[in-house]
Chains A and B, each alone.
Chain A
Amino acid sequence: MRLNLGKIGLLWLLIVGSLDAAQYAWSVLKAPTELHVGEGAVVRYQCLFDSSAGDYTVVFKPTASQGYTASMVTQNDHVSGGKRVLQFDVLITPTVAGVVTVNLDAMIRHTTFASIEDASIGRDNVRKYDFNDEKVILPAVKITALANTADLSGEITFAVQVDKIKVRSHEPVHVSLYVRGSGNLDQFVPYDLNISGVKDFSEPAYKDLSLSEDGYEGEIRQEFALVAEKSYVIPPFSLSVFDTNTHKTKILRSRAIAIEVEKGYVRGNLLDTPDLSDKKSWKRYGVYALFLLLGVVLAEGIRWLWRHRPRKKSNVFWDSVVTTKELSVLLSLKGAPQYWEIIQMLDEGSITLNEAKKKLRSLMRDNEEKR
């Protein structure tokens, strides 16, 4: 490899950098002390290096544990004043009441000097990538979780829509349930409708959610198709929500919806009654009948032509034969060994003319296939 000043400088920097391993420190910049169960809040962790630490990678994947759930909301990685700073916002949501200790860990990956050298020189007979991994326990965060029995927590609204309230028998009624807002919407449990005499064709709840500092934001939609033969009432949907602003639990409830079901369609409903007093109708029906008649005549004509089409005369030599004796003579005349069996059967009278012709046809087919 030809060395130039730039490459030498880079190598020197790397060598010096690797010899002098960077120091880092983890801290918690922001953390709530008290939350209600189901109420989420951001805990901000920071990892501060004493250098730019270009050969370091931080792998931090917060995982849920007993008593809380943890999800990464944002992460930030920058160098400030020659020092590398990494900040992670993790959404912590307590799931049980009491004091919850959040213990998370991360992994610091240091790329080795050998690995850098191999990559920069281009050696192909060594492992190109080599790391030193170090597991780090992050500072513990203690949160007091207050009791909360509401179904969901956050700022949440609730709406129910029905496409029609009067239907015919077996005609479906579409009911749409919307839960919108932010909070622990990921914990939503879909409704199960049980109405006597009503068939429910509901689909799985559709969740369009994204993670934010306030928890999960977006919309959950659950749709039902209800089919019945008799009138029925859709019971009210209710949902208890802990409002994280007012710190109060409220019950969101829809109204009951009565669906009127009429008798189903009968044949008479589907067809218009013909107005026979109208001459135009008669004329129209006459034209229809004429077309039908013409169709029949045309079809019969085509059929007749097809039957009387000039056919190719069959080339088989036995077609004109009318007695078994004649056929036997004709086959013998050909002298082909393949006919011997049929000739014998014909002479013995153990086979009819038609059967013999059938056998000959089959023999001919076999020969053609062999060819």
Chain B
Amino acid sequence: MIKIIDAIRTEMAKVVVGQEKMIDGLLIGLLCEGHILIEGIPGLAKTTTVKALAQTLGLDFKRVQFTPDLLPSDILGAEVYDPQNNQFKIKKGPIFTNLLLADEINRAPAKVQSALLEAMQERQVTLSDESFELASPFLVMATQNPIENEGVYPLPEAQLDRFMLKIKVGYNSAQEELLIARRIASKSAEPIRAVVNADMLYQLQEAVKAVHVDEEVERYMITLVRATREPETVGLESIQRYIQFGASPRVSIDMFKAVRAVAFLKGKQFVTPSDIASIVKDLMRHRIVLSYEAEAEGIDVDTLIEQIITAVPVP
């Protein structure tokens, strides 16, 4: 099974240099059917990576560029009048796909972002009085730019909570950047082949579910999630005032799925605490709501997660 993962990585490496963490995050989302939010400044190959992944999967892929004047119907679809038949008919929007790339999701207003709520959670869309089931697999991979304030709309908490992972993308190393520049300058990128189909993806997802999680490790994960709500239980009274809302139970669910995928990507059949630690920030950073005190004191959510992880005894 891991050979299929390697094949995906190889194909993606044809256009994406480095950014292993982002690729791993996307693969975890793919294996767990979790939606992914990618945050990074422009020019870090966020869109390119998602497109490359879609190409390697051979799945139906649609891209929506989120703009301030976008309407929910531009994504979901709408009931339109058919003058020939003299009746209304449903015109499905781009959300009816396997892989939806919501590019620069925070450029659209909250009402458009919220249009995705039902689709992302229940994997169905209701148009008029009719509900339509979305294709399987259905994944939303959204990108957003953190540095701009003008003309951007922060995602509502309920929407954020539906993203399994929020991956922060950093700069490439100097060597990688040199390779990117050479590759783009010489236009030498090879075409990407589709190496996975829907059946293979299903098999991969089943293999991930078979990864063993020890009971102690399960308890450890629950302790971690609960510690974000009640930090004093792990001796972190000092950070209590910085957290307005801790991680929701959806985090526990996603964590149970994601850590299996992390272990699977490492070629393991069981989950270790290090697998949890490697994904916990991506799982929690967008789901913990910080207080005004934290913002005033410049406390970063990642720092708080690190403190929690360090405070909880490792099984």
Contact = CB atoms under 8 A, between A and B. Distances in A.
Interface of A: 323, 325-326, 328-333, 335, 337, 343-344, 346-347
A335 B274 contact: no
A128 to B, nearest CB: 66
B276 A329 contact: yes
B56 to A, nearest CB: 21
B272 A347 contact: yes
B270 to A, nearest CB: 10
Nearest to B20: A337
A329 B20 contact: no
B126 to A, nearest CB: 39
Max chain B C-beta neighbours (<10 A), residue from A332, A337, A347: A332
Interface in B205-226: none
Given A328-B273, A332-B273, A333-B281, 6 more contacts: A326-B314, A329-B273, A330-B309, A335-B278, A347-B268, A347-B274
A332 B277 contact: yes
A59 B91 CA distance: 123
A332 B310 CA distance: 12
A212 B261 CA distance: 110
Contact of B266 (A325, A326, A337, A344): A344
A325 B306 CA distance: 15
Contacts of A332: 273-278
Interface residues of B, number: 18
A72 to B, nearest CB: 80
Interface in B287-315: 306, 309-310, 314-315
B21 interface: yes
Q: Which 6 A-B pairs have the closest CB atoms?
A: A332-B277, A332-B278, A328-B274, A332-B274, A329-B277, A325-B314
Contacts of B277: 328-333
B280 interface: yes
Contacts of B273: 325, 328-329, 332
A359 to B, nearest CB: 15
B309 A329 contact: yes
Nearest to B266: A344
Contacts of B274: 325, 328-329, 331-332, 343, 346-347
15 contacts: A325-B274, A326-B314, A328-B274, A328-B277, A329-B274, A329-B276, A330-B310, A331-B277, A333-B277, A333-B306, A333-B310, A346-B274, A347-B268, A347-B272, A347-B274
A323 B273 CA distance: 12
A203 B180 CA distance: 78
A335 B165 CA distance: 15
Interface string B1-44: 00000000000000000001100000000000000000000000
A229 to B, nearest CB: 76
A329 to B, nearest CB: 4
**From DSSP, what is the main secondary structure of chain A's interface residues?**
helix
Contacts of A343: 274, 278
Contacts of B306: 333
A343 B276 CA distance: 12
Contact of B21 (A331, A335, A344): A335
Contacts of B281: 333, 335
B272 A328 contact: yes
Nearest to B277: A332
A325 B273 CA distance: 7
A333 B309 CA distance: 8
Given A343-B274, A347-B272, A329 B21 contact: no
Nearest to B280: A333
A160 to B, nearest CB: 84
A153 to B, nearest CB: 90
Contacts of B272: 325, 328, 347
B278 A333 contact: yes
B286 to A, nearest CB: 16
A329 B217 CA distance: 12
Nearest to B306: A333
Nearest to B315: A325
A73 to B, nearest CB: 84
B216 to A, nearest CB: 11
Contacts of B268: 347
Max chain A C-beta neighbours (<10 A), residue from B21, B278, B281: B278
A367 to B, nearest CB: 12
Contacts of A323: 314
A323 B272 CA distance: 14
Nearest to B312: A329
Nearest to B270: A347
Nearest to A326: B314
A323 B281 CA distance: 22
Contacts of A333: 277-278, 280-281, 306, 309-310
A218 to B, nearest CB: 79
A343 B274 CA distance: 7
Contacts of B20: 337
A274 B161 CA distance: 95
A323 B274 CA distance: 13
Contacts of A326: 314
Contacts of B275: 332
Contacts of A328: 272-274, 277
Interface string B61-74: 00000000000000
Nearest to B174: A370
A333 B305 CA distance: 9
A237 B278 CA distance: 99
Nearest to A343: B274
A333 B280 CA distance: 8
A333 B314 CA distance: 13
A333 B276 CA distance: 8
A189 B257 CA distance: 107
Interface string B237-267: 0000000000000000000000000000010
Max chain B C-beta neighbours (<10 A), residue from A325, A329, A330, A346: A329
A99 B179 CA distance: 98
A344 to B, nearest CB: 7
Contacts of B280: 333
Nearest to B267: A344
A138 B266 CA distance: 108
